[in-house]
Amino acid sequence: MNDQLRPHYFLIAVSTLKATAALLAFFLLALLLSPSKLASAYLLGRLSLLFVVLCYGYLFFFWHGVSFSFGETSLTFLMKAGRKNHIELPYEAIASLSLQQGAIERIFGVSRLSLTLQEENTYGSDQMVLNQYLVFDTKTAQQLYDKISAKVPVQM
């Protein structure tokens, strides 16, 4: 296992698909309400393509700058951009840890590590930031789960 790990690419692919699905719903609603269907479809199609490209580029920029380092005593999160760009979390601060894999994640062969910290959970907390990016291929996620759970007595 590498010292520096990057989250799985699945993370930005799914986020882009979710944004595209929401945009498609509004696109269809606008198309149904428009008096000029062909012109609206053409304009909205061009705007949708622009939105998808910009959304993907934005998410790719953030994904590309994220890395994790799993040391002997702590987990280190580094991000080249963003408000919380460096988080060092001792394993003792982890109250519980779980390995999650939904139906779509199973198809793509990825798993998500979900951790709960002993501190109070607030919006924008270290826990929320870490849980957003802790997505790895299933084999790596299992190795990380075993490594972290061996360091800290966790509640399943």
The rounded distance, in Å, linking the Cα atoms of 90 and 106 is: 29
Q: How confident is the model at residue 23 (pLDDT cuts 50, 70, 90)?
A: confident
Task: Report whether 145 contacts 112 (CB < 8 A).
Answer: no
Q: For 7-32, what is the mean pLDDT?
A: 84
Q: How confident is the model at residue 153 (pLDDT cuts 50, 70, 90)?
A: low
pLDDT exceeds 80 at position 86 = yes
